[in-house]
């Protein structure tokens, strides 16, 4: 499994779960904030992405054993964790399954589980996500060609053209933010994530639409849930679902943010909150 570290190398460890699709590359402003706060930021390529080997058929819960092994290899006994978008469920899997090795967890625009009676999973999503998760519900045979086509299209797109490529998924605040350094980071992460194909992306999507392998109601560590009200990738109802089902979850809704900006605008607050639990 590929691992990336930044921030304060001697600081309190915080594991970052990347989005879907994505990789362990750490955005420069995240690393700078971690460094200032004395946090050791650790990213990794989830199975099937970038330089990490695929684990076909994995569920969301599988990441907990992977991260326990990573922590052991790095000599880390306890750590905090946060995940954005598709990384949100994986951060929660660690919180639910790794016991007192996790001091606290946070999600930004984390996707909720499909099939829950009190969550309309796809309601409010942009057109591209509706097509993607519709295919995921049909299975790998329907999903793989869709993701292959999307990956080829993005690989032909420059960072400056990324917002246009993603236009059905970007609310006004997200569209305005997808320029410059953030666009370069997102584009570069996508290229790294899919350098060996779309297996990681495909396995994430299938895992999200099937049983996760753990119960969020079993989480016993502090959890903060951040959600932008203008999110077209993971609509606000997903964050509300987390707040109803995770014991003691602290829901932070931001009316002015979308999917991307909720991370960029509030990461410092989350880092400060996580650092207070060591």
pLDDT tens digit sequence for 190-211: 999 999 999 999 999 999 999 9
**Quick one: pLDDT at residue 90?**
98
The pLDDT value recorded for residue 143 is: 98
Alpha-carbon distance of 4 to 70, in angstroms, equals: 11
Mean pLDDT score of the chain: 97
Q: What is the structure's pLDDT at 21? A: 97
Please report, rounded to a whole number, the percentage of residues in the chain having pLDDT higher than 70: 100
CA separation for the pair 165, 172 (Å, rounded): 15
pLDDT digits (tens, 9 = 90+) for 70-93: 999 999 999 999 999 999 999 999
DSSP single-letter state for residue 21: S
Q: Considering the chain, what percentage of its residues have pLDDT values greater than 90?
A: 98
pLDDT band at 1 (very low <50, low <70, confident <90, very high): confident
> Directed axis angle between helix 62-74 and helix 87-97, to 10°?
70
Within 139-260, residue ranges assigned H as helices are 140-155, 162-165, 172-177, 180-193, 199-208, 236-245
Secondary structure (3-state) at 90? helix
pTM score, whole prediction: 0.97
Contact 153, 165 (CB under 8 A): yes
pLDDT at 63 over 90: yes
> Which pLDDT band, with edges at 50, 70 and 90, does 220 fall under?
very high
**pLDDT the model gives residue 250:** 98
Question: What's the pLDDT tens digit per position in 13-37?
Answer: 999 999 999 999 999 999 999 999 9
Superfamily holding 3-275: Alpha/Beta hydrolase fold, catalytic domain (3.40.50.1820)
């Amino acid at each position: 499994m590929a691992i990336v570290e930044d921030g304060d190398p001697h600081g309190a460890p915080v594991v970052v779960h990347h989005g879907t699709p994505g990789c362990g590359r750490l955005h420069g402003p995240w690393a700078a904030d971690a460094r200032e706060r004395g946090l050791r930021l650790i990213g990794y390529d989830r199975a099937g992405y970038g330089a990490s080997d695929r684990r076909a058929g994995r569920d969301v819960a599988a990441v907990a054993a992977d991260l326990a092994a990573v922590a052991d290899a790095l000599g880390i006994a306890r750590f905090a964790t946060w995940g954005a978008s598709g990384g949100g469920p994986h951060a929660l899997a660690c919180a639910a399954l790794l016991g007192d090795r996790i001091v606290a967890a946070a999600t930004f625009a984390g996707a909720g589980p499909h099939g829950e009676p009190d969550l309309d999973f796809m309601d409010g999503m942009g057109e591209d996500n509706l097509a993607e998760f519709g295919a995921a519900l049909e299975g790998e045979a329907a999903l793989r060609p869709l993701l292959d086509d999307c990956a080829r299209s993005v690989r032909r797109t420059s960072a400056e053209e990324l917002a246009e490529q993603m236009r059905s998924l970007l609310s006004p605040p997200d569209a305005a933010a997808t320029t410059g350094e953030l666009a370069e980071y997102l584009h570069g992460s996508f290229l790294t994530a899919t350098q060996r194909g779309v297996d990681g992306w495909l396995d994430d999507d299938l895992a999200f639409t099937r049983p996760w392998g753990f119960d969020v109601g079993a989480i016993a560590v502090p959890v903060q849930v951040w959600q932008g009200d203008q999110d077209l990738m993971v609509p606000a109802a997903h964050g509300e679902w987390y707040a109803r089902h995770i014991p003691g979850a602290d829901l932070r809704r931001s009316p002015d943010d979308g999917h991307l900006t909720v991370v960029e605008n509030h990461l410092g607050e989350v880092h400060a909150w996580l650092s207070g639990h060591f």
